[in-house]
Every structure is written in C-alpha cells, then in structure tokens.
Structure 1
Amino acid sequence: MSDHDHHDHDDDFGPLAELVTLRDWLRYAVTRFNRAGLHFGHGCADAFDEAAWLLLHTLSLPLDRLEPFLDASITADEREALHEVIERRVTERVPTAYLVNEAWLGDFRFYVDPRVIVPRSFFAELLSDGLSPWLHEHGEVGNALDLCTGSGCLAILIAHVFPNAQVVGADLSEDALAVARRNVDDYGLGDRVELLRADVFDGLQGRRFDLIVSNPPYVTAAAMDALPAEYLHEPRMALAAGDDGMDVVRRILAQAREHLTDDGLLVVEIGHNRRFVEAAFPDLPLIWLPTSGGDDMVFLVQARDL
C-alpha cells in the first residue's frame, strides 16, 4: 500500500483519532499546557481559557460561545490544524495572541504579531470610565498622546473614550508603528489618530497635550533574566528598561511638563515597580490609581506638580 494510504490509515487509528469532539480536544490541550508548565500572561489567566481561545479561533468559532460546540466532532483536516497549534504553543512557548494574531482589551480586538508586545494594560479599565474623576475636573480632552503606543491599542481606546480628541500614538519602533497603522485603519480612525516615530519625546517638539498616557518599557534587569519563555517572543526593546526598570520612566517624567497643557495629566503604568518610582522621585506628588491588579500599577501626576 502507498505511503499516502498508510498516512491516512495512521490518522484513523493513531493517537489523534481518539480525540473526537471539541470537548476531547479541549481536555487534551489543557492537559498538555499544564504538564508543560506554560505561563499565561498574555490575555488569559489559566490553561483552560487559553486552550479555549486557541481552539475556538483555529476552528473559526465565536470566542464567547463554547457550550454549543463542545460535543461537535472534529474532522481529520481540522485535527491536524488543532494538533499543530497546540504543539507550537507547548514546544515553542509562543503566546496564543501571536498564534492567532489577535489580542483583546475589554471588548476591543487588536491585530498583533511579534513586532509588538501583546497588549495587557490596566489602562483599558481606567479608560473605560474616562479616568474619572481626574479628567472631569480638567474639562475636555482636545489632544492626547499615547507614548510607546506599540500596537496602537491605547491610542485607539483614547479616541473612543474622548470622541472630540485628536490623538497621537508615538513609538520608537517602525515595526510597531506598522502594526499600529493596521489597527488604526481597522477602526477607521485614520483622521483622528496620528502615528509618529519618537524616542520618548524626541520627535514631539513643540507639541502639548491635555492627556499623556504611557505603558512604557519598565522591566528591571533582574526580572528580564527571570522572564518565562513566552515573553522572549516579544520585542525586547518594549520590555527592558535598565537595572531598576526606570530608564524610560525617568525620561518621561523629566520632559513631560513641556508637553502638557497647564491642566494636563500624565498617567503611567509601571507594573510592580512602585518602589522604584518612589525611590527615584521621592518629592513628586504621585496619585496611585486603583486597578484590578492592585493600587500600585499606575500613577497619575498633574502638570502643575511636575
């Protein structure tokens, strides 16, 4: 019998053939992920959520409706596709966001690939209520800046939350800006979101904003050395920020005043580095904003205090 027949025969009776339904495949994926000790820091909390996302996307099924499909049978060609993405996730430690080229912040979907870090910002929840109460005291946001925009996700969220704002998304990486352009175009925001190449504020001379947000690189040297393998697929320049993780934040705080309006606000996300921020800027009246990740992830500072 030919090799081709033999291959088909293997598929019918091989280990994959025992996995018949989506429920079977989901169970298999969760077991593989758990046994491999995968890290889930790119949009999912655990192996189950990540497996469901990966399998549903691969089968072109709606991500919010697992139940009706659990007992549906998987065809032979679909089996190969499912097996391949599960293996890539396990053996290459590629985050699911890159395998499926999408990431979510709240209800907003963004295209992503390894040219940008996977969006995972507490700004999504802070912006959902318009940075209340801080911005209401300061009137309308006419001009906003998303510094280190990456995939453009926060610039796009800002444009949605403040419908009258002109938004600038700035990044040092031309690669990142190409991804951001795709996302801005997908949302039809080309007339309101301007993308610029800038090294922190170098490239933004003479421009002032009512609101500057930034989710800059802030990973310390020690934390970079200890990162799970999943993060090594992300651009290093979007993560690493020197010994104390403050290299970029120092530059932002040093120059922000000349780029803010008199009532302007600067809001910066810094991960778990509150102690480094406070050590570096002991006299700055920082306001730490509550998030689902705790009250020491994002700080706000008013222009008049800089």
Structure 2
Amino acid sequence: MAKSVKTTATRKPAAPKLPKVGAGELQTVLDHVRYAVSRFQEANIVLAHGTTDPIAEAAFLVGEALHLRPEQFESFASARITAAESKTVLDLVAARVTTRKPAAYLVNKVYMRGLPFYVDERVIVPRSFIGELLESHFGGADSEGASLIDDPLAVESVLDLCTGSGCLAILASRHFPNAVIEAVDISKDALAVAARNVADYGLEGQITLHRGDLFSPLSARRYDLIISNPPYVDAEGMASLPPECRAEPALAFDGGADGLTIIHRILEQARDHLTAEGGLLCEVGRDRPQIEAAYPDLPLLWLDTEESEGEVFWIAAADLS
C-alpha cells in the first residue's frame, strides 16, 4: 500500500491553464526544472509517489524525459536541450498538472532504493518504507541499526504479500541472495506488471508469483521472512483521497471501514506460515494506534526510516499466537 497522504481535498480541482513558453525562453535542464517547480506549486499538486517535494518531482520528470538516470542529473544540469526535448518536457509537465496522474504513470517508471521499476495504471505506484528497512535492519553485521536477522545469507525463503509491482520481492532478492522468494497478489493486472519487473531483472528462477487472497495459494508452506505492504486506508481516508491517488487501483488502498481488515487477517494467519525463527515485517501507515489498541499483548517492534516514524512493525514468529 501507499505511504499515507494527508489531504482534505475531496474534489478534483479545475485543470489550470499553463502559461505559454516562447521559443528559446527555457534553455537548460535547470531552466526546465525551475519552470516545472513553479507550475507544480501553482497547481498545488499532491506528492505521494516517491518524491517528497516539487523540486524532486520536477527533476524526476525532466530527467526521465531526457533519459538521464538520477545519478547523471547533476552532471548535465547546466546543459542546453533541444527544441524537441523541450517540447517533451513541457508536455509532461502539462500532463502532470492537468491530469493529476502520478508522475510515475506518465513515464512508466519509478525508482526504489536506486533501482528502476516499470509501473502503469494497473498497479499502485510503489513507495514503501520496507525497502529502506531491508537495508537498515536485515543486513546482519552490516546493518545500520540493530539487525533483526543475524545472517541474511542463511535466509532460505521469503514471502511478499500484496506484492503489487513486485518491487519489494525484487529488493528482497538482493538482500537474501540464497532465498527462494514467493510473491502474492489478488490482482491479475498487478501480477502482470510484477512479472514484467521480475523478467527485467532476470529473476524468474528465484521469484515465483502467485495470484490469490493473501496466504490462500500457498498451502502450508512456511517462510523465514514475510514482508507485506497491504491495503490499510480506512473508509474516511478512501473518501478523501487526492486525485493522484484516485488514479491508482482502489483495491490497493482499501483496508475496510477501519483500515485494519487485511492487517487483522495477516496477523491471524502469519504464524502458520513462518518458520520457528522467522518473522513478519508489515507496513501499516498511520494505523499504529488502532493496531496497538486491538493487540495490546503483541510485542510489536515499531521501526523508523528517514521519512517515517512507527509506520512499519516487526514481530517474531515466536511472539505470534
């Protein structure tokens, strides 16, 4: 599921009219970034899909239009671009402002932990905190914080529930190279996108995709690690999603009346699918208070990232009952 979005908007705003740009008025890469930032701020676009401010959003769109990877952007920031390239950039900026679609859909790409992934409207735009936590808490002695798994090379099996685009399963394959990874989603469309990403990284031999409702297609198999970024938006949140999020599949957001419908099921069933030394890593957005109230006796360990506080929990298999 998506990172939580704070918004009070309930109506799609009228599409703003963008100012005309004269020939040669914008010349460099940075000129186009500045123009995009101004338009994004003027239109009050919502940022909830991997970028945290209008500058980052503009740099992403301009870079993708010019086929520049993020690490190349600074080297070419002062470079002049052609008239044809400028038109491509301006068309993307206009589309972002007038359609309010996530930028990732406009260029069919998103980056997670520096890796590019294909996305389109069939799948939620991935922006989970779990990717960062795999680096910071699951690297054994190399972890930035306290490692929750002593030896990542000893992990033999990983399950990614509600996999969406498959990005977390692919990131897990990098952290647990010896693991067989299975990924489940209820959406046939989302799995088609996941299959494309798995193939792009040549991981068909390590990652298996399943279509089904949570654990239902897995029989009695057990895993050393279960990761999940499930739907967790409550009914009130669903009613007030901004236009950018309404462009994404509602199925990937909708967590039921209180946002906990899927999370309850995961907590109830995870123990039957974990090895004795395994554990569950689950992202829940801003649902922590409700979860702690519902499960006061569960010793949930809440983990922070650079951009989140207490939106992901870890619990060992031995502590689940």
TM-score scaled by length of structure 1: 0.91
User: Structure 1 residue 162: deviation in Å?
Assistant: 0.7
1:53 aligns with 2:60: yes
Cα displacement (A) at 1:139: 8.4
Structure 2 residue corresponding to 1:214, chosen from 225, 228, 244: 228
Q: Distance in 1 between matches of 2:119 and 2:208?
A: 19
1:177 aligns with 2:184: no
Matching residue of 1:15: 21
Q: CA deviation at 1:258?
A: 1.0
Q: Runs in 1 of length 4+ with deviation above 6 angstroms?
A: none
Does residue 276 (structure 1) correspond to residue 290 (structure 2)? The answer is: yes
Q: State the alpha-carbon separation in 2 of the partners of residues 38 and 272 from structure 1.
A: 22
Of 82, 85, 90, which aligns to 2:89? 82
- CA-CA distance at 1:250 after TM superposition: 0.6
Between 82-91 and 219-228, report the one with greater CA deviation. Answer: 219-228
CA distance in 1, matches of 2:210, 2:113: 25
Alignment-mate amino acid for residue 127 of structure 1: L
Identity of aligned residues (%): 49
Query: What is aligned with 2:142?
Result: none
Contact preservation (8 Å) 2:235, 2:258: yes
If asked which structure has higher relative contact order (CA below 8 Å, sep 6+), I would say 2
CA-CA distance at 1:146 after TM superposition: 0.3
- For residues 1-306 of structure 1, the aligned pairs below 5 Å read 15-17=21-23, 18-129=25-136, 131=138, 132-136=146-150, 140-306=154-320
CA distance in structure 2 between the partners assigned to 1:134 and 1:60 by the alignment: 38
Give the match for residue 7 of structure 1. Answer: none
Q: How many correspondences in the alignment?
A: 293
Q: How much has 1:153 moved relative to structure 2?
A: 0.7
* Distance apart, 1:294 and its partner CA: 3.7
Deviation at 1:295, TM superposition (A): 3.6
| Distance (Å, rounded) in 1 between the aligned partners of 2:76 and 2:270 | 51
User: Cα distance 1:138–1:166, how it changes in 2: closer, same or farther (>3 A)?
Assistant: closer
Offset, 1:273: 0.9
> For residues 165 and 137 of structure 1, do their structure 2 counterparts lie closer, same or farther at Cα, with a shift above 3 Å needed?
closer
Question: 2 CA distance for matches of 1:201 and 1:62?
Answer: 37
- Please say if residues 171 and 177 of structure 1, whose CA atoms lie closer than 8 Å, have aligned partners that are also in contact: yes
Using a 3 Å threshold, how does the CA distance of structure 1 residues 266 and 62 change in structure 2: closer, same or farther? closer
Residue 130 of structure 1: how far off its partner (Å): 5.0
CA RMSD after TM alignment: 1.7
Greater shift in the superposed pair: 234-243 or 295-304: 295-304
Q: What secondary structure, in the 3-state scheme, does the structure 2 residue paired with 1:15 have?
A: coil
Using the TM superposition, give the Cα deviation of residue 137 of structure 1 relative to its aligned residue in structure 2, in angstroms.
7.7
Deviation at 1:62, TM superposition (A): 3.2
Which runs of no fewer than 5 residues in structure 1 stay unpaired? 1-13
Paired residues of 1:241 and 1:247 also in contact (CA < 8 A): yes
Matched-pair contact (CA < 8 Å) for 1:130–1:161: no
Does the CA contact (< 8 Å) of 2:153 and 2:177 recur in 1? Answer: no
Local SS of the residue matching 2:22: helix
Structure 1 CA distance for aligned equivalents of residues 315 and 78 of structure 2: 52
Aligned partners of 2:101 and 2:22: how far apart in 1?
22
* Structure 2: stretches of 5+ with no match in the other structure: 1-19, 139-145
Q: Would the aligned equivalents of 1:289 and 1:295 in 2 still touch at CA under 8 Å? A: yes
